[in-house]
Amino acid sequence: MHVTKSWALSLAALSLTATHALSTSTPKKVVVTGAGGQTGQALFRKLLTYLDEFTPIGFVRTPESKQSLVNSGLSAGSIAVVDVTDGPAVKAFLTSSPVDAFCICTSGKPAPTGVMTEEGKPVFGYPNGSPEEVDWIGQRNQINACGAGTHVVVCSSMGGTDPSNMLNKLGRTEVDGKEVGGNILKWKRKAEKYLIDSGLPYTIVHPGGLLNEPGGERELVVGVDDSQEGTTSRLVPREDVAEVMLQALRNEGYRNRSFDLRAKDKGDGVVTTDFAGLLGTLEGKNTDYSLGEIM
């Protein structure tokens, strides 16, 4: 096909214009809560490597957590001390500094209390906030603070379809014949349903057991409702969870989706690189919140 010189020049000009538009577009302002934790920090650091696309702000709970991140080389200006269980504080920050996306990586963290059961097993508690305080009230505070149209991306957990999941038992005790505390997956599920019902665009990722191993080295498997289809593995590296959350900010196909995430064993399958097509195997399926229990 013959292409005239003027037509070729027009194509070149169009290409330059498109390139300029991409290079000068305003980066998305993104908050990552739980930025002092392992998964939240992994996502926060990833976003900081793409400053042409994102302006990330990391929320941490304490000044000590902020100082730890600063000592590791991160800019103090990109980190804010905001306790997500303090609703007015979260709202005040977002009112003064609106964002395009909000990534929730906060979660109650169980730890041994020092008490042992009669069987000799350690009793776990939540020294920095119970699941009800962090995974329900804290997440609700974060959701409520987001402005209309803010894309909320949540790192949750698999296991929500099974009320008897062992994670629900951590921190749970009996007082006057009534169970109190614990039930972290039920509180997470309550927060997820609250987000969906809020009308905000959302992406909810339910990772399997989290591995502290490098990401980008395994084939990722998505599913819904705790299905084990696709791999016998129930695990996934934190770095891969962070990557999927980042990709949710890039790809419109991740909006209004709730799904599980696992990874095949290293060396099994083909390393996932096509994140735009990752959710295609779900054929439109989302988490069924009629399954399991919600507090």
pLDDT computed for residue 12 by the predictor: 43
Give the predicted TM-score (pTM) of the model: 0.90
Structure confidence at residue 16 (pLDDT)? 39
pLDDT at 13: 44
Residue 146 has which token pair?
């987001």
| Alpha-carbon 101 to chain mean position | 11
* Nearest-angstrom CA–CA distance, 290 and 285: 14
Whole-number pLDDT of residue 144: 98
d(CA 190, CA 282): 23
How confident is the model at residue 14, as a pLDDT?
41
Phi, psi of 257 (to 5 degrees): -125, 145
Residue type, 85: T
16: burial class by Cβ within 10 Å (0-12, 13-18, 19+)? exposed
Q: How confident is the model at residue 176 (pLDDT cuts 50, 70, 90)?
A: confident
What residues act catalytically?
Answer: 157
**Cβ–Cβ contacts within 10 Å for residue 242, how many?**
27
Predicted local confidence at residue 179, as pLDDT: 83
C-alpha to C-alpha distance for 122 and 201, rounded to whole angstroms: 41
Q: Tens digit of pLDDT for each residue in 234-280?
A: 999 999 999 999 999 999 999 999 999 999 999 999 999 999 999 99
What is the structure's pLDDT at 21? 41
- pLDDT (tens digit per residue) in 59-101: 999 999 999 999 999 999 999 999 999 999 999 999 999 999 9
Q: 22-71, pLDDT tens digit by residue?
A: 445 899 999 999 999 999 999 999 999 999 999 999 999 999 999 999 99
Q: What is the pLDDT of residue 10?
A: 44
> Could you tell me the two tokens for 103?
């990534």
Per residue in 124-143, pLDDT (tens digit) is: 999 999 999 999 999 999 99
CA distances (Å), 259 to each of 12, 154, 180, 209, in order?
A: 42, 11, 29, 15
Distance, CA of 135 to CA of 133 (rounded, Å): 6
Q: Looking at beta carbons, which pairs linking 250-257 to residues 24 or more positions away fall under 8 Å? A: 250/53, 250/275, 251/275, 251/276, 253/279, 254/203, 254/279, 255/151, 255/201, 255/202, 255/203, 256/201, 256/202, 256/203, 256/286, 257/202, 257/203, 257/204, 257/282, 257/286
Q: Give the pLDDT confidence of 177-210 residue by residue, as tens digits.
A: 888 899 999 999 999 999 999 999 999 999 999 9
